[in-house]
Amino acid sequence: MRLSVLMSVYNNAPFVERAVASILDQTYRDFEFIIVNDGSTDGSTEILRRLAATDPRIRLVEQENRGLVASLNRGFAMAHSDWIARMDGDDESLPHRFATQLEFLDRHPDHGVIGTQMVNVDEQGRTIRLTNDYPRDATTFLAAMELLPLMSHPSAIIAKAAFEKVGGYRKIYRHCEDYDLWLRLSEVTKLCSVDEILYRYCVNPQQVTFQHLLHTAIGAAVAWQAHLQRSSGRPDPTEGLSALPDVDHLDELDRIFGMPGIARKVRARVAPKLLYSLPALTSGGARLIGDYVAEGGDRRPATRAVARMLRYGQIRGAGQLAGNLARSYFAPRGK
């Protein structure tokens, strides 16, 4: 058997039967299907048990809730195949997804990861937009790694050997575990996505992207700085950490990395990403933007954040950020 499919499910009851069916209906059929039920409480368990009884390819694992990183690492360890295809419990894979990706890998044996382009759909399955700009070759992927979209995580097929070589997913990069993984895999193999749209990604307001934008953006910025350290032949300063500093303690990054300016670089990367997310602004993002401005950063993100917070009635937070912005006009830039 060449392929294992790995899906982690947590409270995906409205969508999970459709997601499972899209895997079982693939034109490439020789695979095992590992489903990790991560402590679901919404009826997903009963659906998965019923589906597992209908197809011997399904290996259903039930556990208490441990989170996505732990669930995926467990699934990779269980896989019997050399290649592992990711899948999420609320999405759909188009029927020829696996066949197309495996054909690419046959033609490009130096690649250890292959994703697909995708279409974003709402909870009713209606198309929102196409995401058709993931890098289509390894050179473009490397050039995009710092700031551009890299790959649809649940559409990827990953070589188990490469995954194990870099140590799998890391829990300190929770919410951006895929970006951290792509950076580390890029140091040992080639990655890209095929041309075709082969994945339907369901967008809903409860997803990590919406609920944890601030922490995701900070984690991704730190992961990039750690990648630069490894690429320069130095140890990864975040290896062995139990957690990354939170938004109020980002200056700790200078000590962790053993050099000045890391926290400032992280804030500079994160600040522009927070402008249109009220949850991010009110959970510490406004303070981060204020620190960014005080360090000499572009004042425009702060101005936009103030306006957005006022629009949604966040008077106190808007006032504090406006005060930081005003003080920055009288402080020497870069101080």
What is the per-residue pLDDT for 329?
62
Residue for token pair 């290896």? 239
Burial (CB < 10 A; 0-12, 13-18, 19+), residue 181, is: buried
Determine the average pLDDT of the residues in 5-12. 97
Do the Cβ atoms of 166 and 181 come closer than 8 Å? Answer: yes
Q: Rounded CA gap, 77 and 238, in Å?
A: 23
Q: Give the three-state DSSP class for 72.
A: helix
- How do residues 197-230 score in pLDDT, each as one tens digit? 999 999 876 555 545 899 999 999 999 999 999 9
Provide the pLDDT confidence category of residue 298 given band limits of 50, 70 and 90.
Answer: confident
- How do residues 120-144 score in pLDDT, each as one tens digit? 998 878 888 877 899 999 999 999 9
Q: What are 19's two structure tokens?
A: 């997601």
Do the Cβ atoms of 152 and 134 come closer than 8 Å? Answer: yes
Q: Rounded CA gap, 167 and 164, in Å?
A: 5
Which domains does the chain carry?
3-209 (3.90.550.10), 212-328 (no CATH)
- How many angstroms separate the most distant Cα atoms in the chain? 70
- How do residues 24-37 score in pLDDT, each as one tens digit? 999 999 999 999 99
Q: Where are the alpha helices (DSSP H) in the chain?
A: 16-24, 44-52, 68-78, 97-107, 138-144, 160-166, 177-185, 208-211, 213-231, 252-257, 262-270, 278-280, 286-294, 300-311, 315-328
The mean-pLDDT minimum among 72-81, 139-148, 184-193, 285-294 falls in 285-294
